[in-house]
A and B are shown apart, each in its own frame.
Chain A
Amino acid sequence: MILLPCPYCGPRNVSEFRYVGEVSERPDPNETGVEEWRTFLYTRNNPVGWTTETWFHSAGCRQHLIAERHTMTNEVRASRLPEAQLPEGQEERATGGNVAGDGGGAIY
């Protein structure tokens, strides 16, 4: 079983998540060429090793998260919210909190 640490809910079975894809920088559609745009849309690095991916916690908090996962061992060394989802004034929300904690959220 693969466990993914959700920044809000804590470690959950990977079956609760939907894989979105490798994190890649979106080129400016007004300045990019066809080749670069096609590469952004369809080409993936798919490395053997550490990769940064976006996942969607569809059976939990229904938020996107970014996880660093090793594609050989499925070890996950970090997860965080995408910058666009961070609450105002908050620089980072790594996995934290506890279901039983005062602040809500969860880690087990």
Chain B
Amino acid sequence: MVERAPVARSPIAPAPPTTIEYGWEISARSSDAELKITDCTPLAKVLVLAPMYGELARALGVPFGRAARDTHGTLVVGSGPGEWLLLAAPGTNQAVGKRVEVVQDEGLVSVFDATHGRALIRITGPRTPDLLAKVCAIDFADEVTPDGAAFRSSVAKLVTDVVRDDSGGARSYLLHCERSSGQYLFDALIDAGDEFGIEVDGFVDPGDRGV
């Protein structure tokens, strides 16, 4: 009997054709549409809870409502008061967690790997604000939510972390929610983006340029 490595599966059914990369079953589809949606669930997702103004908060260097990349290319998201979401390349979840755990903080600190417990979706394209305006009450104008803005709100009536993370000059948003709601959110975004010509794109490891 041939022994095979376990394959991780996203809660979002991959659009065919599928392939196995980074230990995950992902869509191998490639789209050059102006508005694209990608299941980025394979990215490492580490949640950190710590005092809002403690040593760890200073080390992470990102306040609530903002997102920025650290020197390792990890996207550090200030997702709540005293709450951070760290997004990194697939398979780096343990390394990311260890980097955080070594920071000494006087308050209560909790670091846990949520890679397989959450869903992560990226939408990219100039019409993304129009799409999101159909499912979320937040103003997506540059003056209110510029590149690097992060907030948690209701998206398609689902509690979702939204991160404005422009990619290569194109407007882009990351949407992070509970695993059990991932397929629903993905379908709701495709439904809302249908009139703008949204297409599913396969996941590609961002590699050296960071998440």
Which A residues fall within an 8 A CB radius of B?
A: 8-9, 12-13, 15-16, 58-63, 87-88, 97-106, 108
Contacts and interface: CB of A to CB of B under 8 A. Distances in A.
A82 B34 CA distance: 46
A104 B66 contact: yes
Interface in B147-182: 149, 151-154, 159
B63 interface: yes
Contacts of A13: 137, 154
Given A8-B64, A106-B151, 14 more contacts: A13-B154, A58-B159, A59-B154, A59-B159, A60-B152, A61-B64, A87-B52, A97-B65, A99-B65, A100-B145, A102-B63, A103-B63, A104-B63, A104-B66
Nearest to A101: B65
Contacts of A97: 65
A104 B153 contact: no
Contacts of B81: 8, 61, 63
Q: Provide the main secondary structure of the chain B interface.
A: loop
A15 B146 CA distance: 25
A9 B159 CA distance: 14
Contacts of A101: 65
Main secondary structure of the interface of A (DSSP, over half): loop
B139 A16 contact: no
Contact of B144 (A62, A99, A102): A99
A24 to B, nearest CB: 25
A61 B154 CA distance: 11
A99 B144 CA distance: 6
Contacts of B52: 87
Contact of B153 (A59, A98, A100, A105): A59
Contact of B149 (A16, A63, A100): A100
B32 interface: no
B30 to A, nearest CB: 33
Contacts of A58: 159
Interface in B103-157: 137, 139, 143-146, 149, 151-154
Contacts of B22: none
Nearest to A81: B81
